[in-house]
Structure 1
Amino acid sequence: MMRKYVMLAALVCLSAGTVVARNPKSADPKTAPQPEKYVFTDLKTVPATSVKDQSRSGTCWCFSGVALLESDLLRRSGDTVDLSEMWIVRHAYYDKALRYARMHGKTNLDAGGISYDVPYMMSLYGIVPDSVYRGLNYGTPNHVHGELNAVIKAYMDAVIAAPNKTLSTAWKEGLNGILDAYFGQMPETFTVNGKSYTPQSWMEALKIDPQDYVQLTSFTHHPFYRSFVLEIPDNWTASQVYNIPLEELQMVIDSSLEAGYAVNWAADVSEKGFAFDKGFAIVPVTEAEEVSGSDRARWTKLTDEELKKMAQS
């Protein structure tokens, strides 16, 4: 029976083990106040590779998706393998631009994506080691994609404007020229441990099967136990997710981690409850009051102290 590895779909991606958070505030109000902090206790950990720095690039979807595959390789073989995130990102930029042209600019063209793009792009283009393709060909030691994003968007807008009244035969070569300039030229073959590989043959040697990975989610605007296309701009490939009740989604996460499998979790990190500088997120236990604007506007007005009071102890 083929094993399926879980990628949980929403917006932006994080990879983690299961943890429980508790607020160390004393139950006795007469005692001295405790430091304002949360304490996390690991209940279950699974093998995972080191955290990589996406720096100033909108590619969290790729770093988290690659982390899931690296963790699975570590679990299966005990070997730490560093896969190239920018190999995936570079190909994704190209394919997004092609779709942007075919849809006359009526689709998303930016750095965003979803973690399932990683196995999808690998199924088309294979994978290479990070040491073979760093994707840093523009003068900085870390990933900084602001200029790249602007250049690709401007170039493609000029292409689809069709000033020649028809697309030329040069625009795809021009797009590749931009991508090669920023990421570097893509190798057709490379060597690992003295053996020559292509991107596809190395993926096969690692025994990575992109079809092994599935997306699960829990939304109430679609029927449960059916697949649907996740309606977010970053889902540029229109990939489908399988919808299940929230309680069952939690069961899948728990059972996967208990069995030693990493899980890729994706969430909307634009909400006020995410505190990146403190390393945690809060899920309020009360309903948001109806106020002018959106729910997000309501939560973003809350102070840190109000958020703490609304969090589960």
Structure 2
Amino acid sequence: MNKNILCGLLLLLSGQVFSQKYNFQTVKDIEATPVTAQENTGTCWSFSSTSFLEAEIIRASGKKLDLSEMYNVKINYLDKADNYVMRQGKAQFGEGGLNHDVINSAAQKGLALQSDFSGKLNPEDKYDHSKMVVELEEILKKAVAETPLKYPNWKTDYSDVLNRYMGKSDGVKTISPKELAATYKINLNDYVTITSFTHQPMYTQFILNIPDNYSNGFFYNVPLDEFVSNIDYAIERGFTVALDSDVSEKTFSAKNGVAVIPEKEEDTEKCITEIKPEMKITPEFRQAEFENYNTTDDHLMHIVGKARDQKGNVYYKVKNSWGTKSGIDGYVYMSVPYLKLKAISVLVHKDALLPKTKEALKL
């Protein structure tokens, strides 16, 4: 065979071996509700948590519900306002929140169906809280500046803004925690948040000091490999997982539906379309990235399964809340290294934890 032809064939084959496009094969797919869109709002935390609870209801009772994300949002906006004013403005206020905020609001005020509370005045409108948040914050800052004594009607003004943008929620039919347990087999006390950071002792409960943890929710700390093993164990047993993660990396591609951490910096652009070797993530590197603000709690999503590419690399199938035109039909395939480095925490049913973890945490 001509030497030039042979070289050409070898180059072609090497390109096929080392530059393969992603081809995901399902390993585990857990039933969940369809992808929805948070649109122009910072309410991913409610979309993530609500999707998670819908999947939990399917798993526990076999029933399918379309729960209202915005009912949870409105309840939390009221709680955030009290927290901000009582702390004299020395507290986080904004659109963000965490998974446990929905669990807390559901325990206090129940859950509503989407058909009973859409969070829109006109069902055809898109969600857009940009102006609403500005108006709410102005009221809170005024209440702090003047003191509630001199501005006694601040709560009424604040609620009026919420009602004007989201609709009235007073009198909305809700699913109470008691009904949730009796009819849908969901006990809201059964859910825990686990994480992995080295600045706190392992197997202890602590308040993670991130901006959106306005409600001072507790996190259980476990070693990094055990953190990942618990996620795997949950998925294998048919439990989905609510995820809080950083998505600011260039290698989190909403367009391509892929999230990876390449081993080599020069692969940053290529790795969102082609399989490339990934970095080995240590607890020390994870901690450093958190402490230097390269890892922040940007976005919350919902892990509903696992997949492999043609090289055997494992990915988590993550349901996003940016609509079906984002990613792969609304899903992102997140590699294990990406999750190890960029996952802030996960919310899981305590029975989805590894027995050794459950025992160590005394759950």
TM-score (norm 1): 0.77
Matching residue within 46, 52, 71 for 1:87: 71
Matching residue within 188, 202, 205 for 1:227: 205
Alignment of 1:44-83 (within 5 A): 44-83=28-67
Letter in 2 for 1:261: F
Q: Which runs of 5+ in 1 are unaligned?
A: 1-27, 191-196, 287-298
Provide the C-alpha distance between the structure 1 equivalents of 2:175 and 2:271, rounded to a whole number of angstroms: 54
**SS of corresponding position for 2:220:** strand
**SS of corresponding position for 2:96:** coil
Q: Is 2:225 the counterpart of 1:260?
A: no
**Retained in 1: the 8 A contact 2:60–2:184?**
no
**SS of corresponding position for 2:76:** helix
Q: Is 2:269 the counterpart of 1:304?
A: yes
Aligned CA distance change for structure 1 residues 41 and 226 (closer, same or farther; 3 Å)? same
Residue 310 of structure 1: how far off its partner (Å): 5.8
Residue 36 of structure 1: how far off its partner (Å): 6.6
Aligned CA distance change for structure 1 residues 302 and 104 (closer, same or farther; 3 Å)? farther
Q: Is 2:133 the counterpart of 1:175?
A: no
Aligned CA distance change for structure 1 residues 168 and 198 (closer, same or farther; 3 Å)? farther
Aligned CA distance change for structure 1 residues 47 and 198 (closer, same or farther; 3 Å)? closer
Provide the C-alpha distance between the structure 1 equivalents of 2:97 and 2:277, rounded to a whole number of angstroms: 30
Letter in 2 for 1:30: L
CA-based RMSD of the aligned residues comes to 2.6
Provide the C-alpha distance between the structure 2 equivalents of 1:231 and 1:75, rounded to a whole number of angstroms: 32
Provide the C-alpha distance between the structure 2 equivalents of 1:248 and 1:285, rounded to a whole number of angstroms: 23
Provide the C-alpha distance between the structure 1 equivalents of 2:56 and 2:74, rounded to a whole number of angstroms: 23
Provide the C-alpha distance between the structure 1 equivalents of 2:42 and 2:148, rounded to a whole number of angstroms: 34
- Residue 156 of structure 1: aligned partner: 140
**SS of corresponding position for 1:30:** helix
**SS of corresponding position for 2:60:** helix
Aligned CA distance change for structure 1 residues 142 and 201 (closer, same or farther; 3 Å)? farther
Provide the C-alpha distance between the structure 1 equivalents of 2:269 and 2:277, rounded to a whole number of angstroms: 11
Provide the C-alpha distance between the structure 1 equivalents of 2:95 and 2:113, rounded to a whole number of angstroms: 21
Provide the C-alpha distance between the structure 2 equivalents of 1:165 and 1:238, rounded to a whole number of angstroms: 23
Q: Is 2:259 the counterpart of 1:281?
A: yes
Q: How many residues align?
A: 267
Letter in 1 for 2:98: I
Residue 89 of structure 1: how far off its partner (Å): 0.2
- Residue 291 of structure 1: aligned partner: none
Higher helix content, 1 or 2: 2
Letter in 1 for 2:74: R
**Retained in 1: the 8 A contact 2:262–2:271?**
no
Provide the C-alpha distance between the structure 2 equivalents of 1:306 and 1:41, rounded to a whole number of angstroms: 18
Residue 305 of structure 1: how far off its partner (Å): 3.0
Aligned CA distance change for structure 1 residues 102 and 29 (closer, same or farther; 3 Å)? farther
With a CA cutoff of 8 Å and minimum separation of 6, indicate the structure with the bigger relative contact order: 1
Letter in 2 for 1:239: G
Provide the C-alpha distance between the structure 2 equivalents of 1:132 and 1:278, rounded to a whole number of angstroms: 35
Q: Is 2:184 the counterpart of 1:206?
A: yes
Letter in 2 for 1:168: Y
Residue 30 of structure 1: how far off its partner (Å): 3.2
Aligned CA distance change for structure 1 residues 210 and 306 (closer, same or farther; 3 Å)? closer
**SS of corresponding position for 2:12:** coil
Residue 46 of structure 1: how far off its partner (Å): 1.2
Q: Is 2:108 the counterpart of 1:143?
A: no
Residue 201 of structure 1: how far off its partner (Å): 5.5
TM-score (norm 2): 0.67
